[in-house]
């Protein structure tokens, strides 16, 4: 995409802008500035290897925005600033796809695939056919139309012929280029299909945020992606961390004066060409095979390793690589004959709801947990499923004794898909949510706007224990070995009462504890010692301040030099921090107004825990230098000058639903 020399030049230009420019006063300069920001977006969102520090990126972006404000005539539709959404989207218009989106035929085993291979050979009369095998993403389908190198329209899959116009929301997905030099391949107009999704990580973080705000989490990344695409507030879409893979060209119009680009004669070649223009494609995960046996082998391999993928995949898609051959094979009224989906085994099972237990979390939240008849799904036995809050129980219409359908998708936590009221015998019992804390007996409280009931007793034992567990957890201070069971045991023995006691453990006395060897003790000692130098954001997250999840903790840490700064930070100053709204700011200030907090931080400091911000924004420019990249000519306004009014040569490729 970018040659080493180009990258070097862009980095050099960027530094000059950051150091010397307070404003930009020429069209050439603003074009270079746009190129730099497009390059930075590409390194971050497409290549997954950021080169600029956040602060540097922000400075460049601000410079562009300020310049455009001064010279509005220089704003182009593909300027990075045009991703920023203003106001709410009107109702989504219905738009027609250039080519109908057919669905794919499914296959479930090797025999199905061999059958399909035989049919392809019979129809084409060829002895061998080359196939591409690629992951089948579990997200929401989209269609993008680029005209004269500019993204003109984004739409949802909808039904076969029509979808919703979601252009504004599409622009919030940073891995989708607003412009690309398609004219380099003589392309005047192109319709590209792909899948919008959330990585498993982004999904987890998003749910974490919902839970922190006492809202019900989403069941799976697929629902999260399709729901996000149809939000009417585009700036909200931008916050969801959506990503997109583009995997198919459904329609292409070539400049009639010029030849058809040879790159687009095969499926693999066309994706490679798209990637060279800055699009994110599944190229690196695609395998090209000459026999169906190899195809089957690849499908099995991916199925066995699906949990290692950063995205949810629910199968594989096999396509005939040669596009001319695709045309020969054609389609039925339902699906193309030249492609087939291989579906992975379903990760669902039926079970019985035995009873509900109620767990009290570190913030006093009372979470109902379903205890179910153990069910074995894809290598894991599931016997307990969180139901999050009372609403979920109502929504799913659950009763004790119900037959239920359970799904487990990758490392997404298992969930109850539905109950079967039609199978009830009359012996089932209503679920009655408790009115008192199951641990301390205090009455439960729930504000109108929230979904979660809460124990507000400050010294509730359950909360104290959970706070210690949270502090030591992997995403917080990462004290290996100090897990749930050990914390409870230490609490029971009265060796630990609060977070600070972690650093005062009487190891001599611990020696005699049951199932407690010399080795585990040394390891724990080391892990506790190591935690003293954890970065500040981990401590902030570990303290368990309400509404402060990992992301907010990071933003908060970036804005201060020492944790004690937060004792004197005003609500307004807090609200200036990225990710911090009124509710979060109030919660942070309240937390730091407590005498207990002051005491705790003093104790941690005395124990030698580092409460200073030792992480500075570091410039990592140069990390990519020396690697080989495709040669790429910069995207510039030149694209707009390449207009042609001639009749277009149009070649239709059947689209399918993946
Ligand atoms: Zn309680």
Each residue of 575-603: pLDDT tens digit? 988 878 898 999 999 999 988 899 999 99
Q: How far apart are CA 52 and CA 626, in angstroms?
A: 17
Q: How far apart are CA 640 and CA 186, in angstroms?
A: 14
- Given a cut of 70, whether residue 618 has pLDDT beyond it is no
Among 136, 171, 181, 280, which one carries the catalytic annotation?
Answer: 136
Using the mean position of ligand 1's atoms as its centre, give its distance from the Cα of residue 457 in Å.
6
Using the mean position of ligand 1's atoms as its centre, give its distance from the Cα of residue 356 in Å.
18
Averaged pLDDT score across all residues of the chain? 86
Q: What are phi and psi of 389, to 5 degrees?
A: -160, 175
Average pLDDT over residues 385-405: 92
Using the mean position of ligand 1's atoms as its centre, give its distance from the Cα of residue 363 in Å.
10
The residues of the chain that CATH labels 3.30.470.30 are: 94-343
Using the mean position of ligand 1's atoms as its centre, give its distance from the Cα of residue 367 in Å.
12
- Residue 592, H or E segment: helix 582-593
Using the mean position of ligand 1's atoms as its centre, give its distance from the Cα of residue 588 in Å.
22
Supply the pLDDT for residue 636.
Answer: 30
The residues of the chain that CATH labels 2.40.50.140 are: 348-429+446-454
The residues of the chain that CATH labels 1.10.287.610 are: 4-84
184-209: per-residue pLDDT in tens? 999 999 999 999 999 888 888 888 87
Look at the block and give the residue holding tokens 């490392």: 411
CATH class of 348-429+446-454: mainly beta
Using the mean position of ligand 1's atoms as its centre, give its distance from the Cα of residue 446 in Å.
14
Please say if 136 is a catalytic residue. yes
CATH superfamily of 94-343: DNA ligase/mRNA capping enzyme (3.30.470.30)
Terminal alpha carbon distance of the chain: 27
CATH for the stretch 4-84: 1.10.287.610
102-114: per-residue pLDDT in tens? 888 889 899 999 9
Supply the pLDDT for residue 462.
Answer: 93
Using the mean position of ligand 1's atoms as its centre, give its distance from the Cα of residue 366 in Å.
9
| 475 HSE (CA, 13 A, CB side) | 13
Q: How far apart are CA 638 and CA 642, in angstroms?
A: 7
315-353: per-residue pLDDT in tens? 999 999 999 999 999 988 788 999 999 988 878 889 999
Using the mean position of ligand 1's atoms as its centre, give its distance from the Cα of residue 436 in Å.
8
For residue 447, the SS3 value is coil
Each residue of 260-289: b (16+ CB within 10 Å) or e? ebebbebbbbbbbbbbbbbbbbbbebbbbb
Confidence tier at 570 by pLDDT (50, 70, 90): very high
- Residue 349, H or E segment: strand 348-360
The answer to whether 153 and 167 are in contact (CB under 8 A) is yes
Supply the pLDDT for residue 632.
Answer: 29
Average pLDDT over residues 374-390: 87
Supply the pLDDT for residue 611.
Answer: 95
- Given a cut of 80, whether residue 627 has pLDDT beyond it is no
Using the mean position of ligand 1's atoms as its centre, give its distance from the Cα of residue 357 in Å.
15
Beta-strand relationship, 106-107 and 339-343: parallel
The answer to whether 242 and 182 are in contact (CB under 8 A) is no
Into which CATH architecture does domain 461-606 fall?
Answer: Orthogonal Bundle (1.10)
Average pLDDT over residues 528-553: 92
Using the mean position of ligand 1's atoms as its centre, give its distance from the Cα of residue 251 in Å.
61
Q: How far apart are CA 70 and CA 64, in angstroms?
A: 10
Average pLDDT over residues 13-33: 86
Confidence tier at 385 by pLDDT (50, 70, 90): very high
253-299: per-residue pLDDT in tens? 999 999 999 999 999 999 999 999 999 999 999 999 999 999 999 99
Q: How far apart are CA 253 and CA 128, in angstroms?
A: 30
Supply the pLDDT for residue 648.
Answer: 33
The residues of the chain that CATH labels 1.10.150.20 are: 461-606
Using the mean position of ligand 1's atoms as its centre, give its distance from the Cα of residue 537 in Å.
28
| 391 HSE (CA, 13 A, CB side) | 12
Using the mean position of ligand 1's atoms as its centre, give its distance from the Cα of residue 112 in Å.
57
Supply the pLDDT for residue 617.
Answer: 43
Our measurement of the distance from residue 401's CA atom to the centroid of its chain's CA atoms, rounded to an integer in Å, reads 36
Look at the block and give the residue holding tokens 């989490």: 217
Average pLDDT over residues 175-191: 94
Supply the pLDDT for residue 629.
Answer: 32
Using the mean position of ligand 1's atoms as its centre, give its distance from the Cα of residue 445 in Å.
11
3-state helix, strand, coil in the chain (%, to 5): 40, 20, 40
């Amino acid at each position: 995409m970018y040659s080493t020399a180009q990258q070097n030049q862009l980095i050099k230009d960027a530094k000059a802008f950051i150091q010397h420019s307070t404003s930009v006063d020429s069209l050439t300069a603003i074009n270079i500035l746009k190129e730099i920001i497009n390059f930075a977006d590409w390194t971050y969102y497409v290549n997954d290897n950021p080169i600029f520090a956040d602060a540097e990126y922000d400075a460049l972006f601000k410079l562009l925005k300020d310049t455009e404000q001064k010279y509005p005539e220089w704003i182009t539709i593909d300027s990075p600033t045009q991703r920023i959404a203003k106001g709410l989207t009107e109702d989504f218009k219905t738009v027609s796809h250039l080519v109908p989106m057919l669905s794919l035929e499914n296959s479930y085993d090797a025999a199905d695939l061999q059958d399909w291979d035989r049919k392809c050979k019979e129809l084409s009369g060829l002895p061998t056919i080359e196939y591409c095998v690629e992951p089948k993403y579990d997200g929401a389908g989209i269609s993008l139309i680029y005209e004269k190198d500019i993204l003109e329209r984004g739409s949802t899959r909808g039904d076969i012929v029509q979808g919703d116009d979601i252009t504004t929301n599409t622009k919030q997905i940073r891995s989708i280029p607003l412009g690309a030099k398609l004219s380099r391949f003589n392309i005047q107009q192109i319709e590209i299909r792909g899948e919008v999704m959330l990585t498993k990580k982004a999904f987890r973080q998003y749910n974490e945020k919902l839970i922190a705000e006492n809202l019900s989490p989403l069941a799976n990344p697929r629902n999260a992606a399709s729901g996000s695409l149809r939000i009417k507030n585009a700036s909200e879409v931008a916050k969801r961390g959506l990503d997109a893979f583009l995997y198919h060209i459904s329609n292409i119009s070539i400049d009639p004066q010029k030849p058809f680009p040879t790159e687009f004669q095969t499926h693999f070649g066309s994706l490679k060409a798209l990637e060279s223009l800055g699009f994110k494609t599944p190229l690196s995960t695609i395998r090209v095979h000459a026999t169906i046996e190899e195809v089957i082998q690849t499908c099995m391999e991916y199925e066995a390793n699906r949990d290692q993928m950063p995205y949810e995949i629910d199968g594989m898609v096999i396509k005939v690589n040669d596009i001319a051959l695709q045309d020969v094979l054609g389609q039925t009224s339902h699906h193309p004959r030249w492609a087939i989906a291989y579906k992975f085994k379903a990760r669902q099972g039926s079970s019985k709801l035995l009873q509900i237990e109620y767990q009290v979390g570190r913030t006093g939240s009372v979470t109902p947990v379903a205890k179910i008849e153990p069910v074995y799904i894809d290598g894991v036995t599931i016997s307990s499923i969180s139901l999050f809050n009372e609403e979920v129980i109502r929504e799913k219409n659950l009763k004790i004794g119900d037959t239920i359908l359970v799904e487990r998708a990758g490392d997404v936590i298992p969930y109850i898909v539905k109950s079967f009221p039609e199978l009830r015998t009359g012996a089932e019992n209503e679920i009655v949510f408790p009115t008192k804390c199951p641990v301390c007996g205090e009455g439960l409280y729930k504000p109108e706007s929230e979904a979660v009931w809460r124990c507000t007793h400050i010294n509730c034992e359950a909360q104290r224990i959970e706070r210690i567990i949270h502090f030591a957890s992997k995403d917080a201070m990462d004290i290996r070995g100090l897990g749930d069971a050990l914390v409870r045991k230490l609490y029971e023995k009265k060796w630990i009462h609060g977070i600070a006691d972690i650093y005062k453990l009487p190891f001599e006395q611990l020696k005699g504890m049951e199932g407690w060897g010399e080795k585990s003790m040394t390891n724990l000692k080391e892990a506790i010692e190591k935690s003293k130098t954890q970065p500040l954001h981990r401590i902030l997250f570990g303290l368990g301040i309400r509404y402060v999840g990992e992301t907010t903790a990071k933003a908060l840490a970036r804005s201060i030099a020492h944790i004690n700064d937060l004792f004197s930070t005003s609500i307004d100053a807090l609200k200036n921090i990225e990710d911090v709204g009124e509710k979060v700011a109030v919660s942070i200030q309240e937390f730091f107004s407590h005498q207990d907090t002051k005491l705790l931080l003093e104790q941690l400091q005395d124990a030698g825990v580092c409460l200073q911000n030792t992480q500075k924004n570091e410039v990592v420019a140069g990390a990519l230098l020396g690697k080989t990249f495709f040669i790429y000519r910069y995207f510039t306004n030149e694209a707009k000058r390449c207009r042609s009014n001639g009749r277009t040569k149009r070649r239709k490729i059947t689209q399918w639903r993946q």
